[in-house]
Amino acid sequence: MQIKCPYCGSPNIARILYGTPIMTDELIQEMNQDKTRLAGHDKNESSPTLQCNDCKKKFGREPVCSIRGKKYPPDDLTEIEFRIGGYFGGYDTIVIRNDKAGRAVCVWHMPEDNKRPLFIRACPKREWDTLMNTLFSQLFVHEWKLSYEDNDIMDGTQWSFKLTFIDGKKREIYGSNDYPALWDSFMRRFGRFISEAHSKEANPVDIYRFRGVFREHIPIQNWIREHEPDLFGAIYHNPELLDQFHRYLDRYTDKDLRRNEKHVHDSYLFHCEHCGFEDDIYVGVGMAAPIEYDEIIEKIESGFYGEKWKALYADDPKTIVDIAMALYVCSGCGHYMSDYNLGLYVLKDGLSKQELKLAGQEHPDKGMRFVYLYNMMWSKQYYRKVGDYVHRCPSCNKRMHLGGYDDKPICPKCGKEGKIELGRIMWD
């Protein structure tokens, strides 16, 4: 790509040499042709390396963004967000995350009704590196103004370009009917993401897979949370997607993550390779959860789960109970069973109205509502854990632990070790 001036767009560019270079015939010829200029002093990190021969402005400085006196190189970049559109047509938004959980591209259309499906796919390292080179070494976005506005035009097109760095600091560039000189090149790069998203249907497996990458992006998390039943419906009613979803889950390596990835009316499968015995283990929450919740509260208040749990629940009016079914395995004899989680949580203080809505408690002053707490990504982050209920083995009375795919419980039929596999059914 030919280097152009980020201020006027001209390709008539000269490089700037610092210090005292050896005056070769080639260098003299470049100077006579305005392809090279001598700076005459030592170079530092803020020194420009290029100069436009038309507008005379200098650029090509070190690719860092200075925010409140601190400099951030591209390696510190964790998120890019580009938004463009207008009042009447809605906005296309591109979010690209570079996170320890992975790299992914998300594109969505944002009219008020959110009818355009979300689109998410992986962003390979090579693509991310190419994008960094384009933004900082060819488009020089770190040298753009923070605002481009034509106040003589009403409505029209508005856009924003936001860079978020590792400590949460942001550099945001805004425009309204006015654009940087290299806008066409910028739009060719980001327009590819928009075209890709508008030409393909959202894949529910990818949306589910990459939601952790976008865990800090509240609008995307809100969208996924709102449409989760539709996503899982699409997965479980499409054999190809379901197979892809199963293969994806099989690649999990994080034990805690895998143990908490069970959702509404899901299941595990116990399989014994020795005698062929199989058992469906129901986990998650079903349609009758609100009714079950009231029944469990009555049991807690009556002391059915012990006086300690009764006292902890009564200690704070903001306490709620996690009634998701979970797999438990005895650490002693290997017995397994499905039982209510029964963990106690208290709504955190100081939550905003939006956070209260996400927590499922829009009006906590009117009493705690039942809320699904089966997913660590959304609801539970707004609650403080009071305690984990200790499940005891009905066979040997030893403490049971939260089970998962890595456990090998004892087969109730032949007494030999079996294994836990992905469930084959959903339940009501």
What does the block give as tokens for 164? 């978020």
pLDDT recorded at residue 74 = 94
CA-based nearest residue to 411, from 302, 335, 310, 312: 335
Element (H, E) at 191: helix 183-199
Cα–Cα distance, 207 to 230 (Å, whole number): 12
Residue matched to tokens 């790299």: 103
Indicate the SS3 state at residue 199: helix
Indicate the SS3 state at residue 177: strand
Contact 229, 174 (CB under 8 A): no
Cα–Cα distance, 302 to 354 (Å, whole number): 35
- Calculate the CA 198 to chain-centre distance: 21
Contact 95, 81 (CB under 8 A): yes
Q: List every span in the chain annotated with CATH 3.30.1560.
A: 70-208
- Calculate the CA 30 to chain-centre distance: 49
Tens-binned pLDDT, residue by residue, of the chain (428 aa): 689 999 999 999 998 888 777 788 888 888 788 888 888 777 776 788 899 999 999 999 899 998 988 999 999 999 999 999 886 667 889 999 998 778 899 988 775 455 566 788 889 999 999 999 999 999 999 999 999 999 888 778 899 999 999 999 999 999 999 999 999 999 999 988 888 887 777 788 888 778 778 877 877 877 777 777 777 777 777 777 877 776 666 554 333 334 444 444 467 889 999 999 989 888 877 767 778 888 999 999 999 999 999 999 999 888 989 888 889 999 999 999 999 999 999 989 888 887 887 777 877 877 787 776 654 445 677 889 899 999 999 999 999 999 887 889 999 999 999 998 866 555 44
* Percentage of residues in the chain having pLDDT higher than 90: 40
Q: In the CATH hierarchy, which fold is given to the domain comprising 70-208?
A: Mago nashi protein (3.30.1560)
Cα–Cα distance, 225 to 324 (Å, whole number): 17
State pTM to two decimals: 0.58
Provide the b/e sequence for 256-283 (b: ≥16 CB within 10 Å): eebbbbbbbbbbbbbebeeeeeebebbb
Q: What is the pLDDT of residues 363-381, one digit of tens each?
A: 787 778 777 665 444 567 7
Contact 322, 305 (CB under 8 A): no
What does the block give as tokens for 378? 């959304």
Count the residues in the chain: 428
What does the block give as tokens for 90? 């809605």
Q: Per DSSP, which regions of 144-221 are E strands?
A: 147-149, 158-165, 170-176
Cα–Cα distance, 356 to 21 (Å, whole number): 64
Strands 65-67 and 58-59: unpaired
CA-based nearest residue to 97, from 165, 6, 190, 7: 165
